[in-house]
Structure 1
Amino acid sequence: MATPDDPLSGPLPDTMRAVVLTAHGGPEVLEVRDVPRPVPGPGEVLVRVGAAALNNTDVWTREGDYGRPGPPAGWRGPIAFPRIQGGDVAGTVVAHGEGVGPELVGSRVLLDPAVYDSERPDALPVDILGSERDGGYAEYVVVPAVRAHAVGDSPLTDAELASLPIAYGTALGMVERGGVAAGHTVVVTGASGGVGLAAVQLATYRGASVVAVSSTGKIDAVRSAGADHVVDRRAGDVVEAVRAVAPHGVDAVIDVVAGPTLVAGLDLLRDGGRWVVAGALDGHTVPLDVRSLYLRNLVLVGSTMHTPALFEQLVEIARAGAVRPVVAATYALAEAARAQVELAERRHVGKLVLEPHQR
């Protein structure tokens, strides 16, 4: 049964403040409401949300636009309204349901937002917090206990921890599937965005030399994140600019942009190199001569999010504070709509984060 008290603030309230997505549409469909506090069921824990980071998935879910034909939908298809968004959550466990021991209560945790297709370490996500089920744009959230990972005395703040799951989980999946290792030369496109900046930091953490592709005004911030070279995507031919700083080719490309660069840039890869794509900001349909792949043993990989084993790696990184996410700004719950607008405008570098108990 659930434990009755919140060790941070006394008895648990019956209601909580939350940002509720009422329909697909513009920022106006996000409403701040008082709603019933969720109660953990069997195998679940209740988490007091310390911070919830924003992601592009939040905007695309609100808009109902994941680029697929058909009526508006979320990540996996139609979603039920009202829905509380927010897949990136860090906080403290304050209650548990049946079948869960009390050990986690009082623990600072990082939440894995995924539900997987199996119990294998390499299982793939089939559901995500804040899309198929209520997430962290609220003062409290319920999750399966197995997805709440204690981070102990991590030196990272809650806002930094909350920046990790989706962006850094996606980036870690790309880096892993790209076989990135010490001594490699790696290109990261879209390097000032959430996933791109995470990939710069994680590839650097693995000992790779990073060539980042970013935009004017964000180059210094991307370089500060660990990039050895930064190419301005607005200053000319990106592929030739990368070739100029990596004349002997690259081992992997971590790509969230796709579009024409994917086709033109394949020649940058050394034989046996890997191009990993997890986004299509510059276009999702490209003409590809498959001979450019098989004649040089190149590998083109699609990558979505992380696996349970990769999330365990991410938790270890979080516990050690080995990678420190860049937090661009924090907001109160009442500012969620404005935060999503600013996210979509892409003028920032790093993560935008809600702090639900901030007043």
Structure 2
Amino acid sequence: METIPNNMSAVQLLGHGGVEKLVLNHQVPVPTISASDVLIKVAAAGVNNTDLNTRKAWYSKSYVESAELKNTEAENIAPESEPSATNSSDASWSGEAIQFPRIQGADVCGIVVAVGEQVDKNLLGRRVLIEPCVQEANDEVLASPWYFGSECDGGFAQYTKVAAKHAYPVSSELSDVELASFPCSYSTAENMLTRVNATERDLVLISGASGGVGSAAIQLAKARGAKVIAITSKSKFAEITAIGADVVLDRNDDLAKKLGQNSVDVVIDLVAGEQWPQFLQVLKPFGRYATSGAIAGPIVELDVRTLYLKDLSLFGCTILAKDVFANLIARIEAKQIKPLIANRFALSEIAQAQQEFELKKHIGKLVIDLSLKF
């Protein structure tokens, strides 16, 4: 049995703002588990969009986004200045205020080192992945789901806790860093494809294809037997083709001209922005559209006539549907999908990791590796 210390090292988010709000603290109390919890020694934790969005208060409806920022995001380059929110009372994934300090990190791979009294002791010593959409905490079923590392502390720390139902054992030859690339991006992509019921009969168009969710969606759509059209920058065409995309388009292409109107069955959109009306143009009648992101801008123009005259179905995807995470674990163990690791960082390098993430020049995941000296 491993000796569990009283204190641990963790990166704490002290408030909304820039990366200066991320502080490494070596005297954070190790989480105390309740009856239905497990304590996990973190091996690796991936970086994702939600970390940045939460830090910046992007989820607040009062978020102020400059024209400069919108343009730089659309061009996948870093903005020179941080945006601000005039009100942080709704600046979390759940639409409520974040409680600071907060330990972020939703993509967690680690080892179970302690279990609550109501938890199966066979979990001790098992390597697990944490389901990031949390529906139970503090021995209670939540009225509204939390996001791991947002409404509760996450994995940018030596130890973290979660309800046992959200800790999934995984049997795989993959490394901790590779496994940590899966939970958030791949479950998000799997959830979107599940919601639209993507099958081998579908032609699926995926925006933001070089990001964590986009590249995951390519693999997961191909695992279903679907044909994939991916949208990315020209510099990434070869890499996206290698992942499995059948056709790759430039993000500045006119989709209706390239594909033709009424040409695709499913759109998996992570971008939104000015291009958004084109997604509905290229959808076939009874087509299905799903979104879980808006990196090019959350405000879009909708012609409602297109929506109802084509009998389209639009899905907003945040809360994981039943069995999505279990299905993801099964796909990992069956080697139907592969990890895409762009870079790894020490815990003390969290600011650099988030800054590199924001540049959007990578394909796949950036991961905090707890085996690296910090």
TM-score normalized by the length of structure 2: 0.87
Checking the alignment, whether the CA contact within 8 Å between 1:124 and 1:306 is kept in structure 2 is: no
Distance 2:44 2:143 in 1: 25
Q: Does 1:237 align with 2:237?
A: no
Q: Does 1:146 align with 2:165?
A: yes
Distance 1:157 1:206 in 2: 25
User: Which residue, 295, 302, 307 being the options, matches 1:293?
Assistant: 307
Distance 1:332 1:38 in 2: 21
Match of 1:33 in 2: 25
| CA displacement, residues 14-33 of structure 1 (integer Å, 9 cap, x when unaligned) | 22111111111111111111
Match of 1:68 in 2: 61
Match of 1:15 in 2: 7
Distance 1:125 1:219, change over 3 A: farther
Q: Give 4+ residue runs of structure 1 displaced > 4 Å after superposition.
A: none
Q: Does 1:358 align with 2:372?
A: yes
| CA displacement, residues 67-102 of structure 1 (integer Å, 9 cap, x when unaligned) | 512513222221111111001101111111221131
Match of 2:43 in 1: 50
How many residues are paired up? 342
Question: Which shows bigger deviation, 125-134 or 69-78?
Answer: 69-78
Q: Does 1:170 align with 2:162?
A: no
Q: What is the CA-CA distance between 1:242 and the residue it aligns to? A: 3.4
Distance 1:59 1:240, change over 3 A: same
Amino acid at match of 2:87: P
Secondary structure of the residue aligned to 1:33 is strand
Distance 2:265 2:59 in 1: 30
Checking the alignment, whether the CA contact within 8 Å between 1:125 and 1:307 is kept in structure 2 is: no
| CA displacement, residues 54-74 of structure 1 (integer Å, 9 cap, x when unaligned) | 111101111122251251322
Distance 2:60 2:100 in 1: 20
Q: What is the CA-CA distance between 1:125 and the residue it aligns to? A: 6.2
Question: Which shows bigger deviation, 55-64 or 31-40?
Answer: 31-40
Structure 1: gaps spanning 5 or more residues: none
Q: What is the CA-CA distance between 1:285 and the residue it aligns to? A: 2.3
Aligned pairs for 1:64-213 within 5 A: 64-69=57-62, 71-72=87-88, 73-76=91-94, 77-116=96-135, 126-152=145-171, 154-213=172-231
Amino acid at match of 2:195: R
Amino acid at match of 2:372: Q
Checking the alignment, whether the CA contact within 8 Å between 2:189 and 2:213 is kept in structure 1 is: yes
Checking the alignment, whether the CA contact within 8 Å between 1:231 and 1:242 is kept in structure 2 is: no
Match of 2:246 in 1: 228
Say what the alpha-carbon RMSD is for the aligned residues: 1.9
Secondary structure of the residue aligned to 1:217 is helix
Distance 1:248 1:25, change over 3 A: closer
Secondary structure of the residue aligned to 2:234 is coil
Aligned pairs for 1:271-286 within 5 A: 271-286=285-300
Match of 2:346 in 1: 332
| CA displacement, residues 40-61 of structure 1 (integer Å, 9 cap, x when unaligned) | 2211111111110011110111
Checking the alignment, whether the CA contact within 8 Å between 1:58 and 1:85 is kept in structure 2 is: yes
Distance 2:323 2:51 in 1: 25
Distance 1:30 1:94 in 2: 27
Q: What is the CA-CA distance between 1:307 and the residue it aligns to? A: 2.3
Checking the alignment, whether the CA contact within 8 Å between 2:6 and 2:29 is kept in structure 1 is: yes
Amino acid at match of 2:44: A
Distance 2:57 2:189 in 1: 24
Distance 1:124 1:233, change over 3 A: farther
Q: Percent identity?
A: 43
Distance 1:21 1:200 in 2: 32
Distance 2:229 2:156 in 1: 35
Distance 1:172 1:347, change over 3 A: same
Distance 1:155 1:304 in 2: 30
Amino acid at match of 1:20: Q
Question: Which shows bigger deviation, 333-342 or 16-25?
Answer: 16-25
